[in-house]
Amino acid sequence: MNDQRCERIHEHRALRHPEPPPRMRGRCARALSCLVAAALAGCSASPSISVLGAFFPDWMFCVLGALATTLVVRAVLGRLKYERALGPPVIAYPALLLLISLLIWLLIFNS
């Protein structure tokens, strides 16, 4: 009786969680290995700039440049009374900062 109960439990589990076919497992393994290889390829060199002998990461310069540019854009929009057209400032200015910092990185540091 105990064996029959165990068999029913295993059958029930097999119906709820069927194992993927072997072909699908191979695809998942290949996709995962491609993602790992792509992630490790990005670690080949650290992007940094030497300033008076100290090395600073590129993203720091991108964020500082984007911050200055975003403050200028905010001042210009405020002066022209277009600041409300941007939407909620809590969302608009961080998005603008991110956009400008990524553009600076793409235009200057992406070689």
DSSP reduced 3-state for 38: helix
Mean pLDDT by 10 residues, the chain (111 residues): 67 62 66 73 64 75 92 93 86 94 86 62
Position 82 scores a pLDDT of 87
Q: Which helix (H) or strand (E) holds 56?
A: strand 54-57
Position 2 scores a pLDDT of 64
Position 80 scores a pLDDT of 92
Delimit the domains of the chain by residue range: 2-41, 48-109
